Amino acid sequence: MDVHRAKDIIASKEFIPVEYEGTPVYINRVFESSPYAEVRYENGAITEVPVSELKEVGKPH
């Protein structure tokens, strides 16, 4: 995924499924100064990951 698409997903009113290393995550924010995003796992854990390793999966709903 690229930074622009990650920002589009954050701004979307629809839920757009995203995974990091095969695990569902929510994108909290994208850092302007680096190609990283803050993501939240379904269990509530928060971490920073490379945007390029995020994958959009399925259809928006």
**Domain for residue 51, yes or no?**
yes
Q: How many structural domains is the chain composed of?
A: 1
Residue 21 within any structural domain of the chain: yes
Determine the pLDDT at residue 41.
98
Range of the domain at 8: 3-56
In a domain, 34, yes or no: yes
Phi-psi region of 17 (alpha: psi -120 to 50; beta: other; left: phi over 0): beta
Q: pLDDT, tens digit, for every residue of 17-47?
A: 999 999 999 999 999 899 999 999 999 999 9
Q: Given pLDDT bands bounded at 50, 70 and 90, which one contains residue 54?
A: very high
CATH number of the domain encompassing residue 34: 2.30.30
What are the strands, taking DSSP E only, across 1-61?
Answer: 18-20, 23-30, 36-41, 46-50, 54-56
Is the pLDDT assigned to residue 12 strictly greater than 90?
Answer: yes
Residue 38 in contact with residue 28, Cβ under 8 Å?
yes
